[in-house]
Chain A
Amino acid sequence: MFRAAVRLSVSGVRGLTRLQPGCQGALAVRCYSHGKQETDEEFDARWVTYFNKPDIDAWELRKGMNTLIGYDLVPEPKILSAALRACRRLDDLASAIRILEAAKDKSGPHKDIYPYLIQELQPTLDELGIPTPEELGIDKL
């Protein structure tokens, strides 16, 4: 929870997962375990590819989203866009709206992340005809 507060900066919603600044220099005091660390771009690309699978099935969509939301980050708009398109291929509008709700919930106290996501996703939302929870009025109790 605290990592999220520290890592989610105002400037963007990078898929920040692992790299501590201290590990990048020559005087790395504490590093993570062996093996190459995945960069944010690789992480995003991997997930976009996952959701872009043309014949993705409902289980894979659910598994992917539940796993993604389990991570300590807010997904990038491009990942969400791919997930929304996967919902379209599966004829599942409810899941598409749910994904938007989940992304907003993941932002937690950082209230500026969700408007940014919607702004970036607006072309996709318009193209697919996906309403935001606000448009439906289900963002209120």
Chain B
Amino acid sequence: MFRLTASRVGGLLARRPAAALTAASSRPSSGEVSRPVDMSRPQYWDRRVSPLPDRPFREALSAEDKALKQKEKGPWGQLSREEKIALYRISFQLTYPEMNQSSSEWKTVLGGIFIFIGLTGLLVIWQSYYVYPPQPLTFDEDWRARQLQRMLDMRVNPVEGFSAKWDYEKGQWK
């Protein structure tokens, strides 16, 4: 899957300085080709165990945001509820509850497991009909009955094992 042609390498090298110069190197959402993240710059993260990441979530601020940041330098009691939320959302992408929310991914995983086990089961059944050679005749009911009778006639393990469990007088198992 790694078809790294010379032209593609050249393209990557050309794009890397450009990516480093952009203000916020973001991670693309699903479906997009991933761009390299500049790991030499401070990273943003949402992690339970490390609440304050190296940089705020949004660094490119609009004029309103900048005004809000100025207001933040004054008493916080003067900020409205919405302004406080806005300040939080400038610095952080996800709140703790958003970070901690569970997904339904386990259903996909378990479903996929069962589907593949099912397909394997079908494959096994098909194989037992079409791939295996015919059973040896020693598996036939009739053969096995005669084999059993022969073993009893030979007194196989008569003391504690096989024939010991057969009642010869009554002709049945004990």
The residues in B between 45 and 103 inclusive whose CB is less than 8 angstroms from any CB of A are 48-54, 56, 72-73, 75-79, 81, 84-85, 87-88, 90-92, 95-98, 100-101
Choose from B75, B88, B97, B100 the contact partner of A94 (Cβ within 8 Å): B88
Distance from A129 Cβ to chain B, minimum over Cβ atoms (Å) = 3
Give the Cβ gap from B109 to chain A, nearest Cβ, in Å.
23
The residues of B that contact A70 with a CB separation of less than 8 Å are 49-50
User: Which residue of chain B is the closest to A97 with respect to CB atoms?
Assistant: B88
- A123 in the interface (beta carbon within 8 A): no
Query: How many of chain B's residues touch chain A, expressed as a range?
Result: 20 to 34
Q: How far is the CA of A101 from the CA of B84 in the complex (A)?
A: 15
A57 to chain B, nearest CB (A): 13
Report the minimum CB–CB distance from B167 to chain A (whole Å): 60
Residues of the B chain whose Cβ atoms lie less than 8 Å from the Cβ of A130? 76
Would A141 and B51 count as touching, CB distance under 8 A?
A: no
B51 touching A69, Cβ below 8 Å: yes
From residue 20 to 45 of chain A, which have CB atoms closer than 8 A to chain B? Answer: none
A55 in the interface (beta carbon within 8 A): no
Q: Are A141 and B87 in contact (CB under 8 A)?
A: no
Residue from A61, A70, A102, A138 with most neighbouring chain B CB atoms (10 Å): A138
**Contact in complex: A128, B92 (CB < 8 Å):** no
Q: Are B77 and A101 in contact (CB under 8 A)?
A: no
Q: A61-B52, A133-B95, A139-B97 are in contact. Are A93 and B76 (CB under 8 A)?
A: yes
Contact: B91 with A94, CB < 8 Å?
yes
Given A93-B72, A97-B84, verify A140-B97 contact (CB < 8 Å): yes
Minimum Cβ distance to chain B for residue A106 (Å): 9
Complex alpha-carbon distance, A102 and B92, angstroms: 13
Q: Which of A69, A129, A131 contacts B50 (CB 8 A)?
A: A69
Q: What are 27 contact pairs spanning A and B, CB under 8 A?
A: A62-B52, A65-B51, A91-B73, A93-B79, A93-B87, A93-B88, A94-B87, A94-B90, A94-B91, A94-B92, A95-B52, A98-B51, A98-B88, A98-B91, A99-B52, A101-B51, A101-B95, A105-B48, A105-B96, A105-B100, A128-B76, A129-B75, A138-B95, A139-B95, A139-B96, A139-B97, A141-B101
